[in-house]
Amino acid sequence: MTTESVLQHHLRCFGAGDPNGIISDYAEKSVLFTPNGVLRGTRAIREFFVGMFAELAKPGASTQTLRQDADREIAYLVWKGRTADNDYELGTETLVVRGDKIEAQTVAYKVVPRKA
């Protein structure tokens, strides 16, 4: 698989809120760098996405990809989103794909809690 095809699969599974599909993009030794620390392995990475999917499952949630690029082993995303609880004013991700798996990924975002 190419980096672009792994990225497209990743985005489809994310959009569908599919934790099993999304975790199939990672290897057991994959790492995910988040604003709250480094997650290692598919179990920890799956928990991150399950939490994200729970937030996105609430009514009125939406995300928008502003930019996506792939070149050789690197994929890059810029996005924004809104959930019932938070506004994600700007997010960015970088994925390192080796073979058909995401070996390493960074995610950073500016999140502003929504007023009740």
Mean pLDDT of 77-98: 97
Q: pLDDT value at position 101?
A: 98
Task: Tell me which fold the domain 3-113 belongs to.
Answer: Nuclear Transport Factor 2; Chain: A, (3.10.450)
Q: pLDDT value at position 8?
A: 96
**Extents of the domains making up the chain:** 3-113
pTM of this structure? 0.93
Q: pLDDT value at position 14?
A: 96
Tens of pLDDT, residues 70-84: 999 999 999 999 999
**Six-digit token string for 54:** 């729970």
How far apart CA 97 and CA 12 sit, in angstroms, is 17
Strands (E), 35-85: 37-40, 62-71, 74-82
Q: Is the pLDDT of residue 49 over 70?
A: yes
